[in-house]
Amino acid sequence: MTTLGDTRRAEPALDELLADLRELVECESPSDDLAAVERSADLVARLATERLGLAPERIVVDGVHHLRWRFGSPTAPGRVLVLAHHDTVWPLGTLAQSPFTIADGVLRGPGCFDMIAGLVMALHAIADLGERDGVTLLVTGDEELGSASSRELIEDEARRAEAVLVLEASADGGALKTARKGTSLYEICIAGRAAHAGLEPHKGVNATLELAHLVHGVAALADPGAGTTVTPTVATSGTTVNTVPAFARLAVDVRAWTASEQERVDAALHGLGPVLAGAEVYVDGGINRPPLEEEASLPLFERAQAVAARLGLTELTRAAVGGASDGNFTAGVGVPTLDGLGAVGGGAHAEDEHVLVDRLVDRTLLLRALIEDLLASWPPTLEQHHDD
pLDDT in tens, 6-59: 544 578 899 999 999 999 999 999 999 999 999 999 999 999 999 999 999 999
pLDDT confidence of 387, banded at 50, 70, 90?
very low
Measure the CA–CA gap between 228 and 262, rounded to whole angstroms: 8
pLDDT at 5 over 60: no
Predicted confidence at residue 10, as pLDDT, reads 72
Rounded CA gap, 114 and 347, in Å?
9
> In which order are the strands placed within the sheet that holds 182-191?
229-237, 247-256, 182-191, 280-289
Task: Give the pLDDT of residue 2.
Answer: 40
Q: What is the C-alpha separation between 55 and 45, in angstroms, rounded?
A: 7
Q: Given pLDDT bands bounded at 50, 70 and 90, which one contains residue 388?
A: very low
Q: Is the pLDDT of residue 76 over 90?
A: no
Give Cα 231 distance to the centre of its chain: 20
Give me the amino acid identity at 290: P
Kindly state the average pLDDT of the residues 161-166: 97
Instruction: Say if residue 384's pLDDT is above 60.
Output: no
State the first-to-last Cα distance of the chain, in angstroms, to the nearest integer: 21
Quick one: DSSP state of residue 223? B
| pLDDT, position 379 | 74
pLDDT tier for residue 3 given thresholds of 50, 70 and 90: very low
CA neighbor of 141 nearest in space, from 21, 36, 27, 289: 36
Give yes or no for residue 346 having a pLDDT over 70: yes
% of the chain exceeding 70 in pLDDT: 95
**What's the CA gap between 21 and 92, in Å, rounded?**
17
Query: In the structure, what pLDDT confidence band is assigned to residue 227 with cuts at 50, 70 and 90?
Result: very high
The H or E element spanning position 289 is strand 280-289
d(CA 133, CA 52): 13
Output the CA angle 137-179-119, nearest 5 degrees.
25
Give the pLDDT confidence score for residue 74 in this predicted structure. 73
Q: What is the mean pLDDT of residues 157-165?
A: 96
The residues pairing with 83 across neighbouring beta strands, listed in sequence order, are 138, 166
The residue among 56, 71, 68 whose CA lies nearest residue 157 is 68
Reported as a pLDDT band with limits 50, 70 and 90, residue 150 is very high
pLDDT of residue 205: 98
Which residues have a Cβ under 8 Å from the Cβ of 104 and sit 6 or more positions away? none
Band the pLDDT of 380: cuts 50, 70, 90: low
Cβ pair 228, 263 in contact under 8 A: no
- Say what the pTM is: 0.88
